Amino acid sequence: MGTLIQHLIKLTDHHDRDLLELTLSKALIDLLPLQSVVIAKVLSEAGVGRWMPVTKLDARGGGSVTDPLRVDFDLLPKLEDEKDRLLCLRTQQRVEVALAGDAGPRIAYIPLFESSQVDDEGVLEIHSPQGLTQSDLETIALLQRVFRNMYRLLAYSDRDGLTGLLNRKSLDDTFYNAVLEELDEGADSVTTRLSAKVSPGQERRHRVPPNYWLGTVSVDQFGAIGEHSGHLIAEEVLLLVARILNNTFRTYDRIYRLGGEQFAVLMHCPEEALVLAAFERFRANMDKFIFPQVGHVTACGGFTRVTADDSPSTALERAERAVDYGQQHEGNKVFSYGELVRKGLLGDLVNVGDVDLF
């Protein structure tokens, strides 16, 4: 059993937000006489909020970690289906439920975040054989304070300074820690261990499931916007593009700004046609939006299936070639890299070491 100091060190040793909830859960299970710990965060889509169990751990060693990219949103419980969690979330106060009288098992619901400090919402759900003591609550509060501080620091380092979208560093981390992990669970499981560690810039290869997709988006004629309207207006266009991306894609899809007018989307989807439909919705939303002081602005999108030999760079290269093809053919288009290759419109890339050969 680790000491409190050892667990605090583990919480502050991370460079990846996806592992913080798991580390917090392990610390609580290790340090306190608990039965289980659940951390549930809120996902929203089309105005409907649902609970996603990020981690589930019990004192006997069982548990799971949910990969947000692979959840089936419609199968998650709605917020109102978990009334005690929802009460905790809305009041931002601890809620305790006695399951069999005052001396029996209890569930304590504690807000995961301070609502004024982060955009995320969540609840720490603690199952204990008896009520939590004052000492237990003090230990929980201390661990949560460190967790929240680390979460804010990592959230800041993962974000693009202009748009607030995730940045390229975050894309690399997610690609290595989740997408390229060998998933041993069955077809109906949505959990995976997020335990891989990769040095910055390191290119690793792993086997992957066939239904991860990486797409890129580039604003058409963006240089001309800056020349004609100025730098500040060009930045406003990028902010609005980021908003359209957020409003178009699912809340659990990962959206990134790569730099300049380039954006990326990482998603888990069973069919190429559904990925194409999502990018087409974004293209159409861009096409009909009137940008202040600029007017009509379009964008091209391209996407590719993540393959067993991919790194972030190789997958991005294929997606960007599809975008380039669209921009070379009048712009305002979306293409699948795989479909362009199948039609003979693009030559396939062959990876040899760090060199891409056509």
DSSP string, 45-69: ETTEEEEEEEEEEETTS-EEEB-GG
**SS3 of the chain: helix, strand, coil, percent, to 5:** 40, 25, 35
**Can you say how many angstroms the Cα of residue 282 is from the centroid of all Cα atoms in its chain?**
19
Calculate mean pLDDT across residues 51-67: 90
Query: Confidence band (pLDDT; 50, 70, 90) for 356?
Result: very low
**Residue-range domain boundaries for the chain:** 4-157, 168-357
Q: What is the DSSP letter of 38?
A: E
The single-letter code of the amino acid at 147 is F
Residue for token pair 């979208």: 165
Q: CB–CB of 302/322 below 8 Å?
A: yes
Q: Do 223 and 190 meet the contact criterion of CB atoms below 8 Å apart?
A: no
Residue 189: the pLDDT is 38
Counting Cβ atoms within 10 Å, is residue 337 exposed (0-12), middle (13-18) or buried (19+)?
Answer: buried
Q: 71-127 pLDDT, tens per residue?
A: 888 899 999 999 999 999 999 999 999 987 777 899 999 999 987 556 789 999 999
| 164 phi, psi to nearest 5 deg | 80, -5
Q: Do domains 4-157 and 168-357 have the same CATH topology?
A: no
Q: Please tell me the pTM assigned to this model.
A: 0.77
pLDDT range class, residue 244, cuts 50, 70, 90: very high
Across the chain, what does the average pLDDT equal?
Answer: 86
Residue 198 pLDDT greater than 60, yes or no: no
Read off the pLDDT band of 194 (50, 70, 90). very low
pLDDT in tens, 254-309: 999 999 999 999 999 989 999 999 999 999 999 999 999 999 999 999 999 998 78
Comparison of pLDDT for 343 and 17, the residue scoring more? 343
Q: Domain 4-157 has what CATH class?
A: alpha beta
The CATH number given to 168-357 is 3.30.70.270
Q: Is residue 34 scored above 70 in pLDDT?
A: yes
